[in-house]
Structure 1
Amino acid sequence: MRTRVLGAIAAAIFASLFVVFLYFRSPDTDPHAMRAKYGAAPSQFVDLGGGLTVHLRDTGPRGAPVLLLVHGSNASLQTWEPWAQRLQARYRIIRMDLPGHGLTGASPTQDYRPTAYADVVERIRARLAVDRMVVVGNSMGGGVAWHYALAHPEHVHALVLIDSVGQPEPGGSNDAPLAFRIARTPILRNIAAMITPRSLIADSLPQVFGDPRRVDAAMIDRYWELLRYPGNRVATLDRFALPPDVATPAQLAALKMPVLILWGAADHLIPLSSGEWLQRHIPTSRLIVYPGIGHVPMEEHPDQSAADLDRFVAGLREK
Structure 2
Amino acid sequence: MVRRILLGTLTLIALAFAVIVISVVQFDVPREELVGQYAGGASQFVTLPSGASAHMRDEGNPDGPVLVLIHGSNASLHTWEPWVAELGDSYRIVSMDLPGHGLTGRVPGDDYTREGMADFVGELMDVLNVDRFAIAGNSMGGGVAAQYTLEHPGRISALILVDSAGIPVERKEEDVPLAFRLARMPVVSNVMRYVLPRSVVEEGVRKVFVDQSKVTDEMVSRYFDLSLHEGNRDATRMRFRSYASRDEEAFAARLGEIEVPVLVIWGDKDGLIPVSAAHEFKKRIPQAELAIFENVGHVPMEEVPEASAAAVRDFLASALAASSSTSPASPPAGAAVNEGGEAVPEAVE
TM more than 0.5: yes
Cα deviation, 1:93-116, whole Å, max 9, x if unaligned, reads 000000111110112211110000
Q: Distance in 2 between matches of 1:271 and 1:186?
A: 26
Report if the CA contact (8 A) 1:206-1:213 is conserved.
no
Q: Distance in 1 between matches of 2:203 and 2:183?
A: 19
Q: Distance in 2 between matches of 1:14 and 1:55?
A: 42
Corresponding residue of 1:264: 267
Q: Which structure 2 residues correspond to residues 57-68 of structure 1 after superposition, within 5 A? A: 57-68=57-68
Corresponding residue of 1:141: 141
Report if the CA contact (8 A) 2:189-2:237 is conserved.
yes
* Alpha-carbon spacing, 1:210–1:23, altered in 2? closer, same or farther (3 Å): closer
Q: Which structure 2 residues correspond to residues 17-36 of structure 1 after superposition, within 5 A? A: 20-36=20-36
* Alpha-carbon spacing, 1:241–1:11, altered in 2? closer, same or farther (3 Å): farther
Q: Secondary structure at the match of 1:101?
A: coil
Q: Distance in 1 between matches of 2:89 and 2:321?
A: 20
Q: Distance in 1 between matches of 2:17 and 2:254?
A: 49
Q: Secondary structure at the match of 1:242?
A: helix
Corresponding residue of 1:104: 104
Gaps of 5+ in 1: 1-9
Corresponding residue of 1:200: 200
Corresponding residue of 1:278: 281
Q: Which structure 2 residues correspond to residues 128-207 of structure 1 after superposition, within 5 A? A: 128-170=128-170, 179=179, 182-183=182-183, 185-207=185-207
Cα deviation, 1:139-166, whole Å, max 9, x if unaligned, reads 0000000000001001000100000011
* Alpha-carbon spacing, 1:208–1:138, altered in 2? closer, same or farther (3 Å): same
Q: Distance in 1 between matches of 2:286 and 2:152?
A: 19
Q: CA deviation at 1:16?
A: 7.2
Corresponding residue of 2:302: 299
Q: Distance in 1 between matches of 2:145 and 2:152?
A: 10
Q: CA deviation at 1:260?
A: 0.3
Q: Secondary structure at the match of 1:241?
A: helix
Report if the CA contact (8 A) 2:169-2:273 is conserved.
no
* Alpha-carbon spacing, 1:92–1:212, altered in 2? closer, same or farther (3 Å): same
Q: CA deviation at 1:187?
A: 3.5
Q: Distance in 2 between matches of 1:118 and 1:14?
A: 48
Q: CA deviation at 1:79?
A: 0.3
Q: CA deviation at 1:235?
A: 1.1
Q: Secondary structure at the match of 1:124?
A: helix
Corresponding residue of 1:126: 126
Per mean C-alpha deviation after superposition, the further-off stretch among 31-40 and 180-189 is 180-189
Q: Secondary structure at the match of 2:243?
A: coil
Cα deviation, 1:215-256, whole Å, max 9, x if unaligned, reads 011001000000111111111122122226625453111001
Letter in 1 for 2:287: T
Report if the CA contact (8 A) 1:214-1:300 is conserved.
yes
Count of aligned positions: 309
Cα deviation, 1:271-298, whole Å, max 9, x if unaligned, reads 0001111111112201110000110001
Q: CA deviation at 1:185?
A: 4.5
* Alpha-carbon spacing, 1:290–1:184, altered in 2? closer, same or farther (3 Å): closer
* Alpha-carbon spacing, 1:288–1:247, altered in 2? closer, same or farther (3 Å): farther
* Alpha-carbon spacing, 1:170–1:317, altered in 2? closer, same or farther (3 Å): closer
Per mean C-alpha deviation after superposition, the further-off stretch among 177-186 and 224-233 is 177-186
Q: Secondary structure at the match of 2:154?
A: helix
Letter in 1 for 2:138: N
Q: Distance in 1 between matches of 2:134 and 2:37?
A: 29
Corresponding residue of 1:45: 45
Report if the CA contact (8 A) 1:73-1:139 is conserved.
yes
Q: CA deviation at 1:30?
A: 3.9
Instruction: State TM-score, norm by structure 2.
Output: 0.82
Instruction: State TM-score, norm by structure 1.
Output: 0.89
Gaps of 5+ in 2: 1-9, 323-349
RCO higher in structure (CA 8 A, sep ≥6): 2
Q: Distance in 1 between matches of 2:170 and 2:295?
A: 24
Report if the CA contact (8 A) 2:263-2:288 is conserved.
yes
